[in-house]
Amino acid sequence: MNLQSFLWEYGEKVPGYDVTVINEREARAAAGILFALGMIVIFVGIGYNHIIVARVYLAFLFIDFFARTLSPTYSPSLLLGKYIVRNQKPEYVGGLQKRFAWSLGWFISWFMMNWFVLHWDITFYKVMLCVLCLTLMFLETAFGVCVGCMIYKWITRKNPEHCPGGVCEMRVKEPIQRFNPIQATIAIVTAVALFAGIYLFLAKTESKTFFGQFLHEAVLTKAQLQKEEDEKFERESAGAFENDDF
């Protein structure tokens, strides 16, 4: 393999495709595996207050994405995904845009590796970077949305070939893809209710963990946080006066 083929040929050569491709089913399966492991790490970290699982996971994430940037052939998560979907018909997508997306994933994981594996320096915004990474994985595995591929298209100013779900080639939506007014109303109400519920939970529920406190403070304004502090001070003062009466 020479340098030119390494840079501009990523994936496999499949008859009928004029560019090198990868199996999108394997990619989505791998994203689902990494997302599931990430959620398990969060639950274990919160429930057991252990950081070792987070460090192991983030180190694995760094190695996995680095392997992907070189070749999809030996990425651990892609190999697991390949085994899981081995009986499904492949869905081929262009390799270069996926490599760009996974390179962004490796770039993000480099920061997480430095912050949480080599050192343990946790802040709200650093945790949000982890949440962003998990969100991108969820979008890929659940909806087939490759945000990195969209960025690749925007940077190169040309339509990549063989995108996931055929979004590069599709120009007119099929009737089954369109919303009637009732469907649109249900979808909008559901989305608003979900976001409102998440906001109210984070804003109104008393946090019992460090990460939960981060999220609680993130959704409130400075005025709301100050009001909470004032109310807390008043409760503590009232409790102190009651104790003095005894």
pLDDT tens-digit map of 209-239? 666 777 777 777 888 878 877 777 677 776 6
Q: Between residues 84 and 245, which one has the greater pLDDT?
A: 84
Mean pLDDT of 128-139: 90
pLDDT tens-digit map of 157-185? 777 667 776 666 656 778 888 889 999 99
Considering the entire predicted model, what is its pTM? 0.76
Q: Identify the pLDDT of residue 241.
A: 55
CA distance 162 to 153: 12
Place of tokens 């990430």: 38
| Per-residue DSSP letter, 20 | -
pLDDT tens-digit map of 90-132? 999 888 889 999 999 999 999 999 988 888 887 777 888 888 8
Residue 95 makes CB contacts below 8 A (sequence gap 6+) with 9, 10, 11, 12, 19, 20, 21, 22, 72
Q: Between residues 242 and 78, which one has the greater pLDDT?
A: 78
pLDDT at position 1 over 70: no
| Per-residue DSSP letter, 115 | I
